[in-house]
Every structure is written in C-alpha cells, then in structure tokens.
Amino acid sequence: MSRPIETITVVGRDAALWLSALGLQRAYGKVGVKVHAIELPSLLQPNDVLSTLPTTYGLHGLLGIAENNVFRFAKASYVLGQRFAGWSGSRPPFMHPYDSTGTNFGHVDFVHFWQKAQRAGMNVPFENFSIGAVAAAQGRIADLRESATPFSKAAQGFNLDAFSYGQLLKAYALKSGIAHSQGILEKVDVAEGAVMSVTLADGTRHEGDLFVDATGPQASLISQLDEAGPDSWDHLYPCNRMMVMAGAPVSPAPSYSHIQAFRGGWVGMFPLQDRTAIVAVYSDDELSDEDMTQSVPVLSSVPVSGDAVVSSLNTGLRRNAWVGNCVALGEAAVMLEPLDAVSLHPLHTGLSLLVDHFPAAADAMPQARLFNRKFAGHMENIRDFQLAHYRLNQRYDEPLWDRAREMETPERLAYKLSTFKATGQVPLHDDEAFEKENWTSIMIGHNHLLDQYHPLVDGVPDAELMQRFQAMLKFIAEEVSEMTSLSAHMELYAPQKPRSSF
C-alpha cells in the first residue's frame, strides 16, 4: 500500500517561501502533514516592491493574514488600477481599473453603446463610466456602498514593500507551527527523478515526501529534475533590463500605479506608504543603465533617492513546474514582467493548484501533469495580457515600440485582439486571471476599437442613450464622492509627526 505524504519541505526565500509554507500548513497541517520551511538568504534588494491584484485579499483570507497588519507592517498601499500613460502617442493616459465599466443595455455590452456615442462626437473617455477608474483617479479606496454594488465590483490590490511583507509572512508562518531551518543550500540529492534530500552548508540534511522549490529565479531544486528547462519568452517581450529605485511619496496618496511608456521602455510608479517605488523596464538597445538612471527622475517627476539596482530581465515558463516529488512555485516556475500587478499571482495560482491537486501518495504523483498543464495555461494568459500592451502600442517611429507591435504574437492573443475588434467580444478560457472587463478596458484604452458596434445599438434612440449616459456619470460621481480617501486610510497607520502647535 502506498504511503501518504507526511512531510513537505519548502526550500526557498522571501515571500515565495513563506506564502508556500504558510499556505500548505493552513491547508494540510490540520490533517497531520508536517511542513518544514528551509530559509535561504534573501535575494531582495532594499527597494523591491510587489504589486498585486485584488485576488491577494482572498489569499490573505485563506492564510489568516489580517489586512490591518498588511497595512501596518508592509508599508502597503491600496491600488484600484493601473494608469497607462504614453503608450499611444499623444493620446491621454487611461486607467485600467479592477472593475467593470458601464452597464449593459439589454443583451448588448456597454462598450458598443459607448463606441457609437464616441463616433457621434461624445468625448467622455470609456473609463469615466467605471466607478473603479474614477475612484482610482480621485485617490479613493474601494469601499462601495450597497447602492453601488449592482453597478460596480471595484476592488483593490496592494502595493507592498517586498522586504517588510516577507517579514510579516514569516512571522505568520512561524506562528502557524511549521518547522523552520535556515542556511545556505549546499546540495540537492536527486535519485530516480525525485528529490531525496537537501543539504545545507552547516552539514544538516533535510528530507521530505514532497519538496517545494520556492527559491526564486535560481530554481535550485526543480532545475535538477527538469531537464527541458524553462521555455524562454524573451523573444516575445521587447525589453531586457530592469531597474529599481525609490522616489519620494506623492501626497495625497494616489490609489493607482502609474505606468509611463517612454522611448526605451516603461517606468512604473508604485505608491507605498513611505515612498514611491519605481521600476523601470527597458532595452539596452535603446539606452544604457546609466542613461536610464538619469532618465528616471524626469520620467517619474518625483525626487529620487538612493541607489538604482539594475538586473537583466528574462521571462519564461517552466512547462514542467512539477517533476517527481518537487513542485516549483513562484519565480522558480515562471518569470514575467513586473507589469499588470502580477507580482504574486503566479505564486498564488501555483499554490492553489497544489492545494487542490495535493498528491495522495508519496511514491507516485500523477497530478503533476494536470498541474503543469493548468499552471502553464494560466501563465500564458497573464503573459498575453502583458503582451497586449506592447502589441497595441501606438508609438510610431520608435524602434523599440515599432518592434513591440510587430513581434511574434501568440496565437491565442492574436485571436483575442482580432475577435474584439470585429465583434466586441473577448474569447476567454476558463483559466484566465484577467476577465472580460480587464481586456475590454485595456483594448479600448490602447485605442483598439471595434470596427463596428452591435446592430441592436441603433434600436436605442440617441436622446435616451445620452440620458442614460448622463445618469450613469452622475451616479458614479455621487458614489465616488462618498468613498473613503486612501490618504485618510493611510494616516491611520502613518507614524505621527511631532507638532509644535495644536
């Protein structure tokens, strides 16, 4: 008879290690599975930032992490969307909110009606019909009143200081009753396509029925088993360098991240409580690291302090993230661009899949195939969403951006883009992180409009259409004015400044 899993050994560092260990402990610790976290030295740089989607709420809920603590200890800020500026020539920036936009009339999506009105000369941007987008532009947090919930599902993700967030997760993980070791990884013993044990520099050897590789890009465990290695996606993305810096905080605190395209790539500004984290993604064909360092303050228009940390940027997917008894989670399994707030999403996805497809026996893990297929599907969809920004850019006559438009486009993405243009529909798969409203938002935002709107649209008299639009805008303005401001929320955690007067 086969033996059930008794011990899980999670080897890794930073958020990936602690989220994996805590997640597995919460899911399987209660049935007696022992979770052992082996902590390797951090690879974080001082100003690293994690930018996450609203699904982080669900993750924290599962892990028992109080939102208050995330705010208190991880320098967190709320983000209701991403603002893209400069991606389409001289067109104004647009907001991609974590929310729907407008309401359908009958069976026809709002976007068709908007497009008709827009053609007829109405110049109200699409995003103005989204509570999430308007709220983000006004620095609100997503506390919708009941009256707004049928119309909107505005939600917020977090921007997190990577180091403090890791510390917070560690504290939770240690409190949850896992075993904990610390050291430098010396050796991974592999036999018969499985990890037998890991040995640390201090000579200690650690075994396990199931190993989780949360070592990040080093992929120290899985790389011993996965002979094929990761598929590179570098040929799909135009940038190959990344730079991280710290900028002054912006006041009042914006509740969106700002993604500014420029000649050589893009610069992202991610508000945190104590700073604006700045991440630049660029191509060394266009500018040197030095040039980039000098460009950041100009492009971000906030004072920049401290050193810039530069690294090469590679993307790719390990199609065999689970081999034998070893599952890679996080960056050991997939590398994406730091775009669209997906810093934790691959980890979250992998962890959920592992929990759902937990191996029943220690000696055979047939779930691996299913896991790998599902995981790859999810990741490809995220990648496609990121690529869509590049493919749809309208910065003409700039080599990087011209290239970004013309690079190889994965078939599924090409199909999405063309279907939307032809019909206003977004063909979705069931493993998509981004939904119809997200795709619609960025496609319209990048000016990828419908060739023609739905025929039923003409059934609504123009006057009625305008009236409905106006009512919607008024309703949104009212709802947003009653939402809480992010800066008020932040003040509740900010350290008090000494005051000389009352």
Partner 1 sequence: MQKKIRKIVIVGGGTAGWMVAAALAKTLGTHHHDIVLIESEMIGTVGVGEATIPQIALYNSVVGLDEAEMMRETNATFKLGIEFRDWRKLDHSYFHPFGFYGVDMGGISFSHYWLRWKKAGGNLDYTKFNVETEAARDEKFLRTNDDNNIYMPSVNYAYQFDASLYAKYLRMISEKRGVRRIEGKIVDSAQNAESGFIESVKLENGQSVTGDFFIDCSGFRGLLIEQVYKAGYHDWSSMLPVNKAVAVPCAKNGPPLPYTRSTAREAGWQWRIPLQHRTGNGYVFSGEFISEDEATARLMNSLDGEPLADPKVLKFTTGVRKKSWIKNVVSVGLSNGFLEPLESTSIHLIQVAIAKILAMFPGDQIQTGLVDQYNEEMHWEYDHVKDFLIAHYHVTERDDTPFWNYVRTMEIPDELKRRLETFRNRGETLCHKSELFKEVSWFAVLYGQGLEPTGYHPVANSISEDDLKLRLAKIRSGIQDRLNGMPSHQEFIDRYCAANSLMSA
Strands 257-262 and 265-271: antiparallel
Q: How near is the Cβ of 479 to partner 1 at its closest, in Å?
A: 11
Q: Which of 6, 61, 119, 143 binds partner 1 (CB under 8 A)?
A: 143
Is residue 149 a contact residue for partner 1 (CB under 8 A)?
no
> Would you say 385 and 237 are in contact if contact means Cβ atoms under 8 Å apart?
no
d(CA 74, CA 165): 5
Q: Least distance in Å: CB of 488 to partner 1?
A: 4
120 binds partner 1 (CB under 8 A): no
Q: Tell me the closest approach of the beta carbon of residue 171 to partner 1, in angstroms.
A: 15
482 binds partner 1 (CB under 8 A): yes
- The size of the interface with partner 1 (CB under 8 A), counted in residues, is 25
Q: Which is nearer to partner 1, 68 or 232 (CB)?
A: 68
Residue among 273 and 315 whose Cβ is closer to partner 1? 273
**Among 272, 256, 253, which residue's Cα sits nearest to residue 488?**
253
DSSP 292: H
The C-alpha atoms of residue 412 and residue 174 are separated, in whole angstroms, by 42
What the block records as the tokens of 401 is 């951006």
Residue 383 has, within 13 A of its CA and on its CB side, a CA count of 26
Q: Is 501 in the site for partner 1 (CB under 8 A)?
A: yes
Query: By CB under 8 A, is residue 436 in contact with partner 1?
Result: no
Task: Please choose, out of 38-46, 331-339, 388-396, 475-483, the segment that lies near partner 1 by the rule CB under 8 A.
Answer: 475-483
Give the number of other CB atoms < 10 A from CB of residue 381. Answer: 20
- Using a 10 angstrom Cβ sphere, with 0-12 exposed, 13-18 middle and 19 or more buried, the burial of residue 480 is buried
By beta-carbon proximity to partner 1, the closer residue of 70 and 198 is 70
Q: Does 492 bind partner 1 (CB under 8 A)?
A: yes
Helix (H/G/I), strand (E/B), else coil: 363: coil
Residues numbered 242-271 forming contacts with partner 1, rule: CB under 8 A: 252
Quote the tokens at residue 293: 């360092």
66 scored as a contact of partner 1 (CB under 8 A):
yes
Q: Any contact of residue 484 with partner 1 (CB under 8 A)?
A: yes
> Which listed range, 112-120, 256-264, 415-423, 487-495, lies at the site for partner 1 (CB under 8 A)?
487-495
In the complex with partner 1, the residue whose CB is nearer, 66 or 414, is: 66
What type of residue is 244? V
By beta-carbon proximity to partner 1, the closer residue of 71 and 233 is 71
d(CA 50, CA 270): 9
Nearer to partner 1, 418 or 481 (CB): 481
CB 175 to partner 1: min, Å = 18
Please select the residue that binds partner 1; options are 42, 67, 181, 436, rule is CB under 8 A.
67
- Of 90 and 500, the one with the shorter C-beta distance to partner 1 is 500
- Of the candidate spans 4-12, 30-38, 197-205, 480-488, the one that interacts with partner 1 by CB under 8 A turns out to be 480-488
141 makes contact with partner 1 (CB under 8 A):
yes
Q: How far apart are CA 154 and CA 49, in angstroms?
A: 23
* Rounded-to-integer distance, Cα 456 and Cα 460, Å: 8
Distance CA 398, CA 203 (A): 55
Stretch binding partner 1 (CB under 8 A), from 13-21, 67-75, 164-172, 204-212: 67-75
Under the binding rule (CB under 8 A), the answer on residue 173 touching partner 1 is no
Q: Please tell me the distance from the alpha carbon of residue 385 to that of residue 136, in angstroms, as a whole number.
A: 21
Cis before 41 (ω within 30): no
Separation between Cα atoms, residue 14 and residue 164, nearest integer Å? 10
Q: Dmax of the chain from CA atoms?
A: 79
167 touches partner 1 by CB under 8 A? no
Closest to partner 1 by CB, 167 vs 487, is 487
Q: Please give the order of strands across the beta sheet that includes 7-12.
A: 179-182, 34-39, 7-12, 210-214, 326-328, 322-323
Rg (CA), the chain: 24
- In angstroms, give the least distance from the CB of 177 to partner 1: 24
> Judged by CB under 8 A, does residue 487 bind partner 1?
yes
Q: Can residue 491 be called a binding residue for partner 1 (CB under 8 A)?
A: yes
Which residues form the interface with partner 1 (CB under 8 A)? 66-68, 72, 140-141, 143, 252, 481-485, 487-489, 491-496, 500-502
